Amino acid sequence: MRNNNINVSMLALITVVGLFAGTVRPAEEKDVVGTWKLKYDPGNGETREPVLKITRDKAGLKAEFTDGDNKLTVKEIRLKEGELHFKLEGEHNGEAVSVVYKGKPEGDSIKGVAEWDYQGKTGTFEFEGKREPATRKE
């Protein structure tokens, strides 16, 4: 009899866990809209804290990336299978540079890896960020 009670309890627990697991969904475009304060160290020991502002219109996601005095338009941005991808292209010391960020947003946080390409060299660095609370327009 005690074995049956344990089996019923286990079955109930598995059912409840399954129900909650079924409610977890990947992020959607509306879930990533907002202003994100990112943070990373590109490998030179200097922590950078750029701001990524994501908006959405009928055509899809758009973004602007600001790092200090540099304001860049994000060339590509998409959300695929719950992962946010965005690509920056620009110049550094007269040379072309590109960086592709890939991160997984979870609520108001994001963590991921960026891949850079500069002067024929490539590398990666980790980044993280927090979305700023939305401000009301009065």
- The CATH code of the domain that includes 125 is 2.40.128.20
pLDDT tens digits along 30-43: 889 999 999 999 88
Structural domain containing residue 47:
29-131
* pTM of the predicted structure, to 2 decimals: 0.76
pLDDT tens digits along 56-93: 999 899 999 999 888 887 999 999 999 999 999 988 88
Number of domains in the chain: 1
- CA separation for the pair 99, 88 (Å, rounded): 5
The candidate with the shortest Cα–Cα distance to 50, out of 114, 111, 112, 129, is: 129
Residue 121 in any domain: the answer is: yes
